[in-house]
Structure 1
């Protein structure tokens, strides 16, 4: 096991502890990020995994799985000291500690302190480690990391599935089709966010496009739209969304989709320069020609667009 693996698991446990009372306030999240930033050697991909844990509550079962994983990865007294100190720093981070947070942090610290990091303890773990990892992986505890690729490549789909699982419900839509319409919803939401505010008209336009183009129900369209608008902000890197949409569509679908993007931009009655350039960038990512971009742009009357 590398040090990076230990630091990554420690970061997950710190986040899980922060979710002890079921919520993390904005100031608390900033303090949490400062604390996580002190962990050395984490890659961009590993930071994305920590972000996945920080964006939604970590329940008791998932937290227990992470703590057990951390116990298995402790290799020295210095590892143990760092883990304990990090939890203490978390408690002191924002100066506000709930009783529930104290209880959970104390429980985690007790489990860390009980880990045997002596020579014989480490030898025992070498023999049992692969078995323990498999037991942890196969346990009934939630493991959002199973959906990490979706979190990276199709965040709207990831969040739609997460919320459906929480509600113990599902859509009557096959997986490939749902993935595609979530990608489309994300790109439409990206255009709606260009002016930093999504209007009711833009919201309705996204939902109506999902209904008209993908044939889903009003309830399903509203649900996907709400997720897309909440998850895809103006600073979101749309490149991954565009790349995934490219691989799941043909050229005709992509060209038609440009028309839809312009209709979203025009939902409030006018397409700004900023919105036009954002659509141009998406068109380039979808490997569409300049002519196709111009044709889509011309679907909007001249008096309803900036250029």
Structure 2
């Protein structure tokens, strides 16, 4: 039977192929997830289901485009995972099912699938030949260009604990853009951006006025340049519509800040909430929950709120 390592690696390769055009349509995403769930059921049927962390690692690939270098790394991992002809057949059928799922097969999908199928078919299975191939793969490929390929899973802890920072870092890596911040400060400001975006998104949208307040606050309170502030704010606003872990964000922000910083940050949150001219009840309660999670006293909350009370 196919082991879980094969299933997980195959799922990641399938996601990488889905991203080959640089985007995944709604129909493609639906087909992709359906195919992944069917693969996951193989593990369930054999008493070895995919656990929460493994699903989260898959989500890392689903949420953002996979480039050629990273796809190549995943394909080589898939090659190394093959143990039988049944494994190879499973992988090839899964690839074919993916590209045919939405009824439209692009040239890029055809080229990528053909290359991957050839790579899988080149693997010699069985006995001493397979052992030699696996040893040769480990010695050769880990010293080749593939060893330098991006691996988003190296940043899994950031993906879980500080998703805005993870997304900012991915953007910087992909674009080559530089920011004049230490890693620790970028982590802290990403958390701040995520919490500000949470308040702004109380009504299920982040308005231009709220976005500008976020950018201004990052500059005024932490002295970063306009470009870096815009990047953090834009990424935070984009990520907040996804399933950001609010409790992890507040806990991590607490760890990165002093009490005076946290007290001042309440004023920032109220400024974001008041961007449209007033702070409504839902925004106020959201800030109150953040204050509690940051272990701030009620008096600190009242002081920050008083600066935005309507006459």
Fold shared, TM-score > 0.5 on shorter chain: yes
Aligned to 2:43: none
Show the counterpart of 2:46: none
Other-structure match for 1:217? 225
Distance 1:133 1:38, change over 3 A: farther
What's the TM-score, normalizing by structure 2?
Answer: 0.89
Aligned partner of 1:96 among 104, 109, 112: 104
Q: Give the TM-score taking structure 1 as reference length.
A: 0.90
**2:19 maps to what in 1?**
19
**Equivalent runs, 1:119-198 vs 2, <5 Å:** 119-124=127-132, 127-128=135-136, 131=139, 134-135=142-143, 139-198=147-206
Unaligned runs of 5+ in 1: none
CA contact (8 A) 1:201 1:268 kept: yes
Unmatched segments (≥5 aa) in structure 2 = 41-48
User: Are the aligned partners of 1:196 and 1:234 in contact in 2 as well (CA < 8 Å)?
Assistant: no
SS at match of 2:205: coil
On the 8 A contact 1:184/1:245 being kept in 2, the answer is yes
Pair 1:297-2:305 in alignment = yes
- Contact in 1 for aligned 2:80/2:134 (Cα 8 Å): no
Runs of 4+ with >4 A deviation: 125-130
Deviates more, 1:218-227 or 1:186-195: 218-227
Change (3 A) 1:208 1:44: same
- How many angstroms apart in 2 are the aligned matches of 1:11 and 1:32? 9
Pick which of 29-38 and 199-208 moved more: 29-38
Label 1:235 to 1:62 Cα distance change in 2 as closer, same or farther (>3 A): closer
RMSD (CA atoms): 2.1
2:31 match: 31
Between stretches 224-233 and 275-284, larger displacement belongs to 275-284
How far is the alpha carbon of 1:290 from its aligned partner? 3.1
1:277 is displaced (CA, Å) by 2.1
**Partner-residue secondary structure (3-state), 2:203:** coil
Structure 1 residues 166 and 127: alpha-carbon distance in aligned structure 2, compared to 1, 3 A threshold: closer
Question: How far apart are 1:126 and its partner, in Å?
Answer: 5.9
Distance, in Å, in 2 between the alignment partners of 1:281 and 1:77 is 55
Shift of 1:14: 0.4
Mapped partners of 1:3, 1:290: distance in 2: 53
